[in-house]
Amino acid sequence: MLSKLKQAIIDGDEEAAKSFSEKISSEGMDPLEAINGAVIPAARAAGEKFEKGEFFVPNLLLSTDAMKAAINIFTAGMSEKSKEELGKEGTVVIATVEGDIHDIGKNIVALLLEVNGFQVHDLGRDVNSMDIVNRALDVKADIIALSSLMTTSMPSQQDVIDMLKAMKVRDRFLVMIGGGSVTEDWAEEIGADGYTETAEEAVRLAQALMKKGGTG
C-alpha cells in the first residue's frame, strides 16, 4: 500500500493519494511511518525528476497537491509525540519577500522541508520584512528562508538580514535565500548563510546548515 501511495503522489493523482492514505490510516499504521515510508520518498523522487527535466512545473504542482492531501490525512491522526518527531529537524519560517507575489517555488520548498522533518511556518507571499522577523522570533525559528523571483524585490531579502543585525539577533538565525533572480554572489553580498537554485537543494542546504550550526 505504501508503494501505491508513493506512486500516486509521484503521478500527481490527488484522489488516489487520498484513497490510499485513508486506507493506510484505517489499517492502523503509524502516521509517521507512513510519511517516512511513502510521502518523503515520493517528494524526493518528484524533486529529482524536476531537476533532471523529466518533470515540469505542472507535474510538480500536481505531485505537491497529492503530497499535501496525504499529509493532511496522516497528521490528522497523529499523536503529539509523532508531530514533534515530524518537526525534529528544525523550525523554518519561510516567505516570499515584500514586493513579490510569486510563490510556486516557495510553496514547493515549504512542502519538501515539511516532509523531510522540518516544522515549517509558511507566511505566504509579499510579506513585510518586520513580520518575517517577528514570526521567527515568536516561534524560535532555526532558519529563515526568503524567496524572491524578481530583481526589484531582492533588496527585501537584505532588509530582513539588516533588521536582524539592527535588533542584535542575527546570530539566532540561519538565513537561506533563493528565487529566480537570486545568485550566490548576491547571497554573499548580503550576508546570507546559503543560497540554492532548486527546491531539492534547499532541503539539503537546510539539513547541512542545521548540522553545521551557527551563522555564516
Which residues have C-beta within 8 Å of that of residue 58, sequence separation ≥ 6?
Answer: none
Tell me what pLDDT residue 216 has.
41
Q: How many CB atoms lie within 10 A of CB 154?
A: 22
Phi, psi of 147 (to 5 degrees): -110, 140
> What's the pTM?
0.70
47 versus 121: which is more confidently predicted? 121
Amino acid at residue number 216 = G
Regarding whether 208 and 154 lie in a shared domain, the answer is: yes
CA–chain centroid gap for 183, Å, is 19
Percent of the chain with pLDDT over 70: 94
All 3 cell numbers of residue 48?
529529482
Query: End of a domain among 46, 69, 85?
Result: 85
Q: Is the pLDDT of residue 18 over 60?
A: yes
Q: What integer is the mean pLDDT of 126-140?
A: 97
Regarding whether 68 and 139 lie in a shared domain, the answer is: no
Find the domain containing 44 and state its range.
2-85
* Euclidean distance between CA atoms 195 and 65, whole angstroms: 26
pLDDT per position as a tens digit, 106-124: 888 887 788 777 889 999 9
Please tell me the least confidently modeled range out of 105-109, 126-130, 144-148, 152-156: 105-109
Regarding whether 158 and 97 lie in a shared domain, the answer is: yes
Tell me what pLDDT residue 83 has.
64
pLDDT per position as a tens digit, 51-82: 788 988 788 889 988 988 998 898 887 766 66
Structural domain count of the chain: 2
All 3 cell numbers of residue 29?
499504521
